[in-house]
Structure 1
């Protein structure tokens, strides 16, 4: 017992000595350099220094560079298309009759092959001009031809470069078989001495944390109708497993022809505006300046918005303020005011 008592007393004296030392000298200091390094490391992981102007996606490298806007065919014989899965933004607008075409805009990614490419309309050119994009098409309406020939926008056209910069696919028939590689886009820009340095104006985006609190009515599925036949209708279904919308056209999922990758969207922006038929072919005059009503779908939810043309960018507005996009890819569907949103857009919340 005496031995245990002596050992216990010694242990207490040792602890007491350590405590007195801490009182005199304070606790052992942490390495301040390591603390600063930990803070800096945390910031790098949560916020990247650069962001792509058309997607809001962060990048460790600079995101400069000119956008390229390509007229892509949407005829059933042109499906599935090539390169759409890498577009930052796609504008779907009526060309003539109930036939839609796409203006696919690339800046953050470069697909190897793009097409099939079809002819231009003046309102597609206006959208591309607002993005300061190099405009790519194969053919033109009379109104579009006048704009292109007077140098309204830097452009490459298959009417000039068919068989050189533009190549014909052997597995499809004209006019559904004209393609251009991104390599040839850059080659043509160099030949024409077009600058490819200037970035487009930036859209407004939510931060990742803000995106988590997106509000609105449930909108797991939406159909945008362009025709009674349904051939040019598009359906968007929200996939909760990836947090994005999948696109379907005439019953088939929209995928890339080469890679078979699906089109996945983060923002679906549906707007209505006036359309006026101007000739017996069915060519249209479409107002993309005046503004109007629209829907914005993000993360399985929808809100009613207005739209306006803000120095060339078509943006959603609510309570006189720009509504930010969720970072990622965007699809813009433009429909006529007659019949309008209520008749052309239908939601399924299930």
Structure 2
């Protein structure tokens, strides 16, 4: 397994490699902008990027996987956390630059790229163990209510909206951002098989600058979208080194359709609309 922090601001799109990820976490950074934390394990990605800086919530999510984590620096809190927890960090701007590259078709800071091959080389050079992919539980799932259109409104700012829409086509959820298809660098529309929304307590805190503080350790409400239907439930993460556990309202573990899964962390489920 490998984890990569990827930019998702307008200048960072279209990204490379996201379509090859097994799991993607979309996490609010600041100003309504989100970052992506992509987990790679079953498929190689020849290009991944732009690699961007780490946020605290992303670091806490990553620690649960015990996998090398590629990033380009990070906020002070996240970097201190990384140093204390001693996870498998590959920082492209602090010591691991040999396993990244700068591309010429993008301006900094959205021009740092890597690949699964480079990161595997970097992990081995640093003596970091590469663990097998942790797969979500797969299986059929009955019940739920119809939901073929899903809208996640991370920000409704007039000058800088960030509204993600998914349309279910009978097989996958085709992703758009602000009414435009979200394409990969190869021109392929991003289209996961599963969507998860986690309601996470979020507050703005003042450090050197205003930052979002998200309680990803804890529990809260969750929604699973698969096969054109929505299922309500809860999530729990018992510590920074634990993974998210998702259960339905009957206490049974969520099961997922085979394919890619996107997690969306929002302050409140009112950020989500579906029909």
User: How far 1:320 sits from its partner (Å)?
Assistant: 1.9
User: Cα deviation per residue 1:148-202 (whole Å; 9 max; x = unaligned)?
Assistant: 3345211111112576322112111111111112221112112211112x22444
Corresponding residue to 1:103 among 34, 37, 41: 37
Higher relative contact order (CA 8 A, sep 6+): 2
Deviations 1:285-323 (A, max 9, x none): 211121111211011111211111267222321222211
Query: SS in structure 1 opposite 2:197?
Result: strand
1:284 matched to 2:217? The reply is: no
Residue in structure 2 matching 1:269, options 196, 205, 209: 196
Counterpart in 2 of 1:51? none
Q: 1:279 to 1:168 in 2, by over 3 A?
A: same
State whether residues 307 and 317 of structure 1, in contact with CA within 8 Å, keep that contact through their aligned partners in structure 2: yes
Note closer, same or farther for the CA distance 1:163–1:307 as it changes in structure 2 (3 Å cut): closer
RMSD: 1.8
Q: Is the 8 A contact 2:194 2:226 kept in 1?
A: yes
Distance of 2:76 and 2:94 partners within structure 1: 16
Q: Which structure shows the bigger proportion of residues in strand conformation? A: 2
- In the TM superposition, what are the counterparts of 1:64-79 in structure 2 within 5 Å? 67-79=1-13
For residue 111 of structure 1, report the CA deviation from its aligned partner.
0.6
Match of 1:57 in 2: none
Aligned 1:87-126 pairs, distance under 5 A: 87-126=21-60
Q: Indicate the residue corresponding to 1:183 in structure 2.
A: 117
Check the 8 A contact 2:47/2:113 in 1, yes or no.
yes
Q: 1:194 maps to what in 2?
A: 128
> Which structure would you say has the larger Rg?
1
Summarize the Cα distance change of 1:293–1:345 in structure 2 as closer, same or farther, 3 Å threshold.
Answer: same
Hey, which of these two has a bigger chunk of helix by percent? 1
- Counterpart in 2 of 1:217? 145
TM-score for the superposition, normalised by structure 2: 0.92
CA distance in 1, matches of 2:232, 2:97: 46
How many equivalent residue pairs?
269
Instruction: Find the partner of 2:264 among 314, 326, 333.
Output: 333
1:85 aligns with 2:19: yes
5+ residue gaps, structure 2: none
